[in-house]
Amino acid sequence: MDRRSFLRTSAIGGAAAATTSLAAPAYAQGNRTLTMVTSVPDGYAVFDDAAQLAIDYIAALSDGNLVINKMPAGSLVGAFEVFDAVSAGQADVYHSAEYYFLNQHPAFAFMTSIPFGMTSQEMANWYYRRGGQELHDTLSSLFNLKPFMCGMTAMQPGGWFNTEINSAEDLQGLRFRMPGQGGQVLGRLGASVQNIPGGEIYQALASGQIDGAEWIGPYADERLGFQEVTNLYYTAGFHEPGSALHMSFNLEVWESLTAQQQAIVKVACEAAHAQNTALSLAENGAALARLMAAGVQPREFPEDVWDAFGRASAEVREENMGDPIYAEIAESYFASMAESSAWYEIGDGEYMRQRNRVNAG
Protein backbone atom coordinates (compact mmCIF):
# COMPACT_ATOMS: atom_id res chain seq x y z
CA MET A 1 0.00 0.00 0.00
CA ASP A 2 1.47 3.39 -0.95
CA ARG A 3 1.70 6.29 1.49
CA ARG A 4 -1.33 8.16 0.16
CA SER A 5 -3.49 5.06 0.28
CA PHE A 6 -2.34 4.47 3.84
CA LEU A 7 -3.09 8.06 4.79
CA ARG A 8 -6.58 7.86 3.27
CA THR A 9 -7.37 4.60 5.06
CA SER A 10 -6.01 5.85 8.37
CA ALA A 11 -7.80 9.18 8.05
CA ILE A 12 -11.18 7.56 7.42
CA GLY A 13 -10.87 5.25 10.40
CA GLY A 14 -9.58 8.00 12.68
CA ALA A 15 -12.27 10.47 11.66
CA ALA A 16 -15.08 7.97 12.19
CA ALA A 17 -13.85 7.15 15.66
CA ALA A 18 -13.49 10.80 16.60
CA THR A 19 -16.95 11.64 15.31
CA THR A 20 -18.61 8.78 17.19
CA SER A 21 -16.92 9.37 20.53
CA LEU A 22 -16.83 13.15 20.68
CA ALA A 23 -19.83 14.50 18.84
CA ALA A 24 -22.69 12.11 19.57
CA PRO A 25 -24.17 14.11 22.49
CA ALA A 26 -24.35 17.24 20.34
CA TYR A 27 -26.08 15.31 17.54
CA ALA A 28 -28.74 14.08 19.93
CA GLN A 29 -29.58 17.66 20.91
CA GLY A 30 -29.79 18.77 17.28
CA ASN A 31 -26.88 21.17 17.79
CA ARG A 32 -23.31 20.90 16.54
CA THR A 33 -20.07 22.36 17.80
CA LEU A 34 -17.12 21.74 15.52
CA THR A 35 -13.42 22.34 16.16
CA MET A 36 -11.55 24.40 13.58
CA VAL A 37 -7.76 24.58 13.46
CA THR A 38 -6.13 27.46 11.60
CA SER A 39 -2.71 28.32 10.21
CA VAL A 40 -2.36 31.79 11.77
CA PRO A 41 -2.72 33.32 15.24
CA ASP A 42 -5.93 35.04 16.28
CA GLY A 43 -6.43 38.51 14.86
CA TYR A 44 -4.09 38.27 11.87
CA ALA A 45 -5.43 40.76 9.35
CA VAL A 46 -7.13 39.35 6.24
CA PHE A 47 -6.17 35.71 6.87
CA ASP A 48 -7.82 35.27 10.27
CA ASP A 49 -10.49 37.82 9.36
CA ALA A 50 -11.79 35.41 6.70
CA ALA A 51 -12.02 32.50 9.12
CA GLN A 52 -13.76 34.53 11.79
CA LEU A 53 -16.22 36.05 9.35
CA ALA A 54 -17.25 32.60 8.07
CA ILE A 55 -17.63 31.34 11.64
CA ASP A 56 -19.84 34.32 12.52
CA TYR A 57 -21.98 33.86 9.41
CA ILE A 58 -22.45 30.15 10.11
CA ALA A 59 -23.53 30.80 13.70
CA ALA A 60 -25.95 33.56 12.66
CA LEU A 61 -27.49 31.71 9.71
CA SER A 62 -27.97 28.54 11.75
CA ASP A 63 -29.43 30.47 14.70
CA GLY A 64 -26.67 29.02 16.85
CA ASN A 65 -27.34 25.40 15.90
CA LEU A 66 -23.98 25.08 14.16
CA VAL A 67 -21.05 26.57 16.04
CA ILE A 68 -17.38 26.45 15.13
CA ASN A 69 -14.78 26.72 17.87
CA LYS A 70 -11.62 28.24 16.36
CA MET A 71 -8.24 27.02 17.58
CA PRO A 72 -5.48 29.28 16.19
CA ALA A 73 -2.08 28.06 15.07
CA GLY A 74 -0.16 26.40 17.87
CA SER A 75 -3.07 26.02 20.28
CA LEU A 76 -4.01 22.49 19.17
CA VAL A 77 -1.72 21.75 16.23
CA GLY A 78 0.97 23.69 14.38
CA ALA A 79 0.25 26.05 11.51
CA PHE A 80 1.25 23.54 8.84
CA GLU A 81 -0.25 20.50 10.61
CA VAL A 82 -3.91 21.45 10.15
CA PHE A 83 -4.34 19.42 6.96
CA ASP A 84 -3.21 16.17 8.56
CA ALA A 85 -5.18 16.84 11.74
CA VAL A 86 -8.49 17.27 9.89
CA SER A 87 -7.79 14.49 7.41
CA ALA A 88 -7.22 12.11 10.32
CA GLY A 89 -10.22 13.32 12.32
CA GLN A 90 -8.26 14.98 15.12
CA ALA A 91 -10.13 18.19 14.30
CA ASP A 92 -13.30 18.79 12.29
CA VAL A 93 -12.32 21.59 9.92
CA TYR A 94 -9.35 23.77 9.07
CA HIS A 95 -8.91 27.23 7.60
CA SER A 96 -5.66 27.71 5.73
CA ALA A 97 -3.94 28.26 2.39
CA GLU A 98 -3.85 25.07 0.35
CA TYR A 99 -0.39 25.65 -1.09
CA TYR A 100 1.03 24.91 2.35
CA PHE A 101 0.26 21.26 1.57
CA LEU A 102 2.18 20.61 -1.65
CA ASN A 103 3.84 17.67 0.08
CA GLN A 104 0.39 16.01 0.08
CA HIS A 105 -0.22 16.75 -3.60
CA PRO A 106 1.39 19.38 -5.86
CA ALA A 107 -2.00 20.25 -7.41
CA PHE A 108 -3.03 22.01 -4.20
CA ALA A 109 -0.93 24.93 -5.49
CA PHE A 110 -3.66 25.82 -7.99
CA MET A 111 -6.23 26.17 -5.21
CA THR A 112 -4.35 29.05 -3.60
CA SER A 113 -2.21 30.74 -6.25
CA ILE A 114 0.62 30.05 -8.65
CA PRO A 115 3.25 32.37 -10.17
CA PHE A 116 1.89 34.36 -13.12
CA GLY A 117 -1.50 32.80 -12.49
CA MET A 118 -4.99 34.14 -11.83
CA THR A 119 -6.04 37.41 -10.29
CA SER A 120 -8.67 37.35 -7.54
CA GLN A 121 -11.59 37.73 -9.97
CA GLU A 122 -10.20 35.19 -12.41
CA MET A 123 -9.87 32.75 -9.52
CA ALA A 124 -13.51 33.28 -8.57
CA ASN A 125 -14.54 32.75 -12.20
CA TRP A 126 -12.74 29.42 -12.35
CA TYR A 127 -13.65 28.16 -8.92
CA TYR A 128 -17.35 29.00 -9.03
CA ARG A 129 -18.17 28.84 -12.75
CA ARG A 130 -15.58 26.76 -14.61
CA GLY A 131 -15.14 23.63 -12.52
CA GLY A 132 -12.52 24.65 -9.97
CA GLN A 133 -14.69 23.72 -6.98
CA GLU A 134 -15.44 20.28 -8.42
CA LEU A 135 -11.78 19.60 -9.15
CA HIS A 136 -10.87 20.73 -5.66
CA ASP A 137 -13.53 18.41 -4.23
CA THR A 138 -12.10 15.47 -6.14
CA LEU A 139 -8.52 16.21 -5.09
CA SER A 140 -9.43 16.78 -1.44
CA SER A 141 -11.62 13.67 -1.26
CA LEU A 142 -8.44 11.60 -1.71
CA PHE A 143 -7.46 12.92 1.71
CA ASN A 144 -10.86 12.60 3.38
CA LEU A 145 -11.63 16.33 3.07
CA LYS A 146 -14.39 18.59 1.71
CA PRO A 147 -13.16 22.13 0.84
CA PHE A 148 -14.70 25.56 0.26
CA MET A 149 -13.01 28.74 -0.93
CA CYS A 150 -13.21 31.12 2.01
CA GLY A 151 -11.06 34.23 1.75
CA MET A 152 -8.86 36.08 -0.73
CA THR A 153 -5.73 38.14 -0.13
CA ALA A 154 -5.79 39.52 -3.72
CA MET A 155 -2.47 40.42 -5.36
CA GLN A 156 0.47 39.95 -3.01
CA PRO A 157 3.50 42.23 -3.16
CA GLY A 158 6.99 40.96 -3.89
CA GLY A 159 7.87 41.47 -0.25
CA TRP A 160 10.23 43.09 2.21
CA PHE A 161 13.97 42.99 1.57
CA ASN A 162 17.01 44.14 3.52
CA THR A 163 18.85 44.89 0.25
CA GLU A 164 17.82 46.02 -3.22
CA ILE A 165 17.30 43.50 -6.00
CA ASN A 166 18.93 45.02 -9.09
CA SER A 167 19.45 41.82 -11.08
CA ALA A 168 18.60 38.13 -10.95
CA GLU A 169 22.10 37.52 -9.56
CA ASP A 170 21.05 39.32 -6.37
CA LEU A 171 18.72 36.41 -5.60
CA GLN A 172 21.68 34.03 -5.23
CA GLY A 173 21.90 32.89 -1.62
CA LEU A 174 19.11 35.23 -0.49
CA ARG A 175 17.37 33.77 2.56
CA PHE A 176 13.74 34.49 1.81
CA ARG A 177 10.37 33.40 3.20
CA MET A 178 7.96 32.36 0.46
CA PRO A 179 5.71 29.25 0.31
CA GLY A 180 4.11 27.45 -2.64
CA GLN A 181 5.34 27.38 -6.20
CA GLY A 182 6.67 30.92 -5.75
CA GLY A 183 9.14 29.60 -3.22
CA GLN A 184 10.12 26.83 -5.64
CA VAL A 185 10.79 29.49 -8.29
CA LEU A 186 13.06 31.46 -5.98
CA GLY A 187 14.86 28.26 -5.05
CA ARG A 188 15.47 27.53 -8.71
CA LEU A 189 16.97 31.01 -9.05
CA GLY A 190 19.44 30.36 -6.23
CA ALA A 191 17.63 31.71 -3.17
CA SER A 192 17.56 29.83 0.13
CA VAL A 193 13.82 29.54 0.59
CA GLN A 194 12.21 29.28 4.02
CA ASN A 195 8.56 28.29 4.49
CA ILE A 196 7.97 29.99 7.83
CA PRO A 197 4.46 30.16 9.37
CA GLY A 198 2.85 33.59 9.41
CA GLY A 199 3.09 33.87 13.16
CA GLU A 200 6.88 33.51 13.07
CA ILE A 201 7.86 35.77 10.15
CA TYR A 202 8.43 39.01 12.06
CA GLN A 203 10.84 37.44 14.52
CA ALA A 204 12.73 35.66 11.75
CA LEU A 205 13.12 38.92 9.83
CA ALA A 206 13.98 41.01 12.88
CA SER A 207 16.55 38.51 14.14
CA GLY A 208 18.35 38.25 10.80
CA GLN A 209 17.38 34.60 10.35
CA ILE A 210 16.08 35.61 6.92
CA ASP A 211 16.98 38.44 4.52
CA GLY A 212 13.44 39.10 3.39
CA ALA A 213 9.87 37.89 3.42
CA GLU A 214 6.53 38.21 1.71
CA TRP A 215 3.23 37.98 3.54
CA ILE A 216 -0.10 39.30 2.25
CA GLY A 217 -0.18 42.99 1.36
CA PRO A 218 0.24 46.49 2.82
CA TYR A 219 -2.72 46.25 5.22
CA ALA A 220 -1.76 42.90 6.74
CA ASP A 221 1.99 43.57 6.52
CA GLU A 222 1.63 46.88 8.35
CA ARG A 223 -0.24 45.15 11.16
CA LEU A 224 2.68 42.73 11.60
CA GLY A 225 5.18 45.60 11.75
CA PHE A 226 7.61 44.61 9.00
CA GLN A 227 8.26 48.34 8.42
CA GLU A 228 10.01 48.36 11.78
CA VAL A 229 12.67 46.03 10.39
CA THR A 230 13.29 47.23 6.83
CA ASN A 231 12.00 49.98 4.56
CA LEU A 232 12.48 48.28 1.17
CA TYR A 233 9.11 47.03 -0.08
CA TYR A 234 8.67 45.49 -3.53
CA THR A 235 5.02 46.25 -4.20
CA ALA A 236 4.36 44.03 -7.22
CA GLY A 237 4.99 40.32 -6.94
CA PHE A 238 5.10 37.49 -9.46
CA HIS A 239 4.20 34.71 -7.08
CA GLU A 240 0.61 35.23 -5.88
CA PRO A 241 -1.58 37.47 -8.08
CA GLY A 242 -4.75 36.33 -6.30
CA SER A 243 -4.36 34.02 -3.32
CA ALA A 244 -7.42 32.12 -2.13
CA LEU A 245 -7.93 30.80 1.38
CA HIS A 246 -10.04 27.75 2.15
CA MET A 247 -12.14 26.12 4.82
CA SER A 248 -11.91 22.34 4.57
CA PHE A 249 -13.96 19.80 6.54
CA ASN A 250 -13.22 16.25 7.51
CA LEU A 251 -15.33 14.37 4.96
CA GLU A 252 -17.20 12.22 7.50
CA VAL A 253 -17.98 15.29 9.58
CA TRP A 254 -19.21 17.10 6.47
CA GLU A 255 -21.46 14.21 5.43
CA SER A 256 -22.92 14.05 8.95
CA LEU A 257 -24.22 17.62 8.70
CA THR A 258 -27.83 18.14 7.70
CA ALA A 259 -28.64 19.45 4.23
CA GLN A 260 -29.54 22.78 5.78
CA GLN A 261 -26.26 22.99 7.70
CA GLN A 262 -24.31 22.16 4.54
CA ALA A 263 -26.14 24.90 2.65
CA ILE A 264 -25.38 27.35 5.45
CA VAL A 265 -21.68 26.52 5.31
CA LYS A 266 -21.58 26.96 1.53
CA VAL A 267 -23.33 30.34 1.64
CA ALA A 268 -21.29 31.52 4.62
CA CYS A 269 -18.00 30.68 2.91
CA GLU A 270 -19.03 32.45 -0.28
CA ALA A 271 -20.13 35.53 1.66
CA ALA A 272 -16.93 35.55 3.72
CA HIS A 273 -14.90 35.19 0.54
CA ALA A 274 -16.58 38.21 -1.07
CA GLN A 275 -16.20 40.35 2.03
CA ASN A 276 -12.59 39.30 2.55
CA THR A 277 -11.70 40.14 -1.06
CA ALA A 278 -13.18 43.60 -0.57
CA LEU A 279 -11.28 44.01 2.71
CA SER A 280 -7.98 43.21 1.02
CA LEU A 281 -8.54 45.49 -1.95
CA ALA A 282 -10.09 48.36 0.01
CA GLU A 283 -7.47 48.63 2.74
CA ASN A 284 -4.20 48.12 0.88
CA GLY A 285 -4.03 51.56 -0.73
CA ALA A 286 -4.48 53.48 2.50
CA ALA A 287 -2.08 51.16 4.31
CA LEU A 288 0.61 51.69 1.66
CA ALA A 289 0.20 55.45 2.01
CA ARG A 290 0.74 55.16 5.76
CA LEU A 291 3.80 52.96 5.25
CA MET A 292 5.30 55.44 2.80
CA ALA A 293 4.64 58.31 5.20
CA ALA A 294 6.57 56.31 7.79
CA GLY A 295 9.58 56.02 5.47
CA VAL A 296 8.92 52.80 3.56
CA GLN A 297 10.32 52.95 0.02
CA PRO A 298 8.29 51.12 -2.66
CA ARG A 299 10.41 49.31 -5.21
CA GLU A 300 9.83 47.45 -8.47
CA PHE A 301 11.80 44.50 -9.77
CA PRO A 302 13.80 45.23 -12.95
CA GLU A 303 12.49 43.62 -16.12
CA ASP A 304 15.35 41.12 -16.32
CA VAL A 305 14.33 39.88 -12.85
CA TRP A 306 10.73 39.57 -14.02
CA ASP A 307 12.01 37.60 -17.02
CA ALA A 308 13.93 35.27 -14.73
CA PHE A 309 10.83 34.80 -12.59
CA GLY A 310 8.87 33.96 -15.73
CA ARG A 311 11.32 31.38 -17.04
CA ALA A 312 11.65 29.63 -13.69
CA SER A 313 7.88 29.72 -13.13
CA ALA A 314 7.26 27.92 -16.42
CA GLU A 315 9.78 25.24 -15.46
CA VAL A 316 8.21 24.73 -12.02
CA ARG A 317 4.70 24.48 -13.49
CA GLU A 318 5.81 21.77 -15.87
CA GLU A 319 7.59 19.63 -13.29
CA ASN A 320 4.48 17.77 -12.19
CA MET A 321 2.60 17.49 -15.48
CA GLY A 322 3.24 13.75 -15.46
CA ASP A 323 0.78 13.44 -12.58
CA PRO A 324 -2.68 12.98 -14.15
CA ILE A 325 -4.54 14.86 -11.39
CA TYR A 326 -2.13 17.78 -11.55
CA ALA A 327 -2.33 17.83 -15.36
CA GLU A 328 -6.15 17.80 -15.37
CA ILE A 329 -6.37 20.65 -12.89
CA ALA A 330 -3.69 22.64 -14.72
CA GLU A 331 -5.53 22.26 -18.04
CA SER A 332 -8.78 23.48 -16.51
CA TYR A 333 -7.06 26.33 -14.65
CA PHE A 334 -5.22 27.74 -17.64
CA ALA A 335 -8.19 27.35 -19.98
CA SER A 336 -10.35 29.39 -17.61
CA MET A 337 -7.62 32.00 -17.12
CA ALA A 338 -7.23 32.43 -20.88
CA GLU A 339 -10.98 32.78 -21.34
CA SER A 340 -11.29 35.40 -18.59
CA SER A 341 -8.22 37.42 -19.55
CA ALA A 342 -9.26 37.58 -23.21
CA TRP A 343 -12.38 39.48 -22.19
CA TYR A 344 -10.73 41.61 -19.51
CA GLU A 345 -8.06 42.78 -21.93
CA ILE A 346 -10.51 44.13 -24.52
CA GLY A 347 -13.17 45.17 -22.00
CA ASP A 348 -11.86 46.24 -18.61
CA GLY A 349 -8.33 46.85 -19.86
CA GLU A 350 -9.35 49.29 -22.59
CA TYR A 351 -11.83 51.01 -20.30
CA MET A 352 -9.21 51.57 -17.61
CA ARG A 353 -6.72 52.87 -20.15
CA GLN A 354 -9.27 55.35 -21.46
CA ARG A 355 -10.45 56.28 -17.97
CA ASN A 356 -6.94 57.10 -16.87
CA ARG A 357 -6.31 59.11 -20.02
CA VAL A 358 -9.55 61.12 -19.79
CA ASN A 359 -9.26 61.75 -16.06
CA ALA A 360 -5.65 62.82 -16.43
CA GLY A 361 -6.76 65.45 -18.98
Secondary structure of 228-263 in HEC code, one letter for each residue: HCCCEEECCCCCCCCCEEEEEEEHHHHHHCCHHHHH
Mean pLDDT for the chain overall: 92
* Predicted confidence (pLDDT) at residue 15 exceeds the cutoff of 50: no
pLDDT in tens, 332-351: 999 999 999 999 999 998 99
pLDDT of residue 20: 31
Q: pLDDT per residue over 212-251, tens digit each?
A: 999 999 999 999 999 999 999 999 999 999 999 999 999 9
CATH node for 3-151+244-282: 3.40.190.170
Task: Identify the pLDDT of residue 361.
Answer: 77
pTM: 0.90
pLDDT higher than threshold 80 for residue 160: yes
Question: What percent of the chain clears pLDDT 70, i.e. is strictly above it?
Answer: 92
Compute the Cα dihedral for 204, 303, 288, 341 and give only its sign: negative
pLDDT at 4 over 60: no
> pLDDT tier at 30 (50, 70, 90 boundaries)?
low
Contact 250, 93 (CB under 8 A): yes
**How far, in Å, CA of 87 to CA of 252, rounded?**
10
pLDDT in tens, 269-292: 999 999 999 999 999 999 999 999
Model pLDDT for residues 41-93, shown as the tens digit of each residue: 999 999 999 999 999 999 999 999 999 999 999 999 999 999 999 999 999 99
Contact 74, 199 (CB under 8 A): yes
What's the mean pLDDT in 178-203? 97
pLDDT in tens, 50-64: 999 999 999 999 999
